[in-house]
Structure 1
Amino acid sequence: MEVLVFKTNLRFKKQISAVTPHINNLQGITRWNVDLDDKDKILRIESADLCPRTVETTLQQAGYYCEELP
C-alpha cells in the first residue's frame, strides 16, 4: 500500500463532488480525501498500484490542476 500526495486547485466541496466519479473510476484506490484547509488543497490517495500520472491526467481532464508532490 502506498500513499500518493498531490497539490490541487480544488477549493470547494462542490468541486470535490465533481471529481469524485472520476477518481472513483480509477482502479486500485483504497481510500482518498482532499484537505481543503491546507494551502495546497492536498489530495491523498491510498492505493495498491496506481500511477501518479494517471491521477494527474484524470483531474486535468476533469478541468482541475493536479501535481504530485515529492
Structure 2
Amino acid sequence: MAVLVFRTNINTDERVHRAACRLCKLRGICRWSIDLEDCVLRIEAESLTEADVIRLLTKAGLECNVLN
C-alpha cells in the first residue's frame, strides 16, 4: 500500500465536500484524510498514482501538489 501526501488549498468545509465527492469515486483508495490547518491531504491507496489524484482534484477546481 502506498501513502500519497499532497499540499492543497482544501481549507473549508465546502472544499472538503468537493474533494470528498471526487475521491469517493476513485478505486483503490483505502483511507484518506485532510488536515485543514496545514492544508495537507493524505491518501492510503493500493493502485493509485499521484498524477491521478492531482488530475482529479484540479478538474474539481482545487489546488493539489505532491508534498515531499
TM-score by length of 2: 0.93
Identity %: 38
Looking at structure 2, the residues matched to 17 and 65 of structure 1 have their Cα atoms a distance apart, in angstroms, of 14
Q: Tell me the equivalent position of 1:52.
A: 50
CA RMSD of aligned residues (A): 0.8
> Is there any run of 5+ residues in structure 2 with no aligned partner, and where?
none
1:49, CA displacement in angstroms? 1.5
Q: Is 1:19 matched up with 2:19?
A: yes
Q: Tell me the equivalent position of 1:68.
A: 66
Matched positions, count: 68
> Is there any run of 5+ residues in structure 1 with no aligned partner, and where?
none
- Which ranges of 4 or more aligned residues in structure 1 deviate by more than 2 Å? none
Looking at structure 2, the residues matched to 18 and 69 of structure 1 have their Cα atoms a distance apart, in angstroms, of 20
Looking at structure 2, the residues matched to 46 and 19 of structure 1 have their Cα atoms a distance apart, in angstroms, of 15
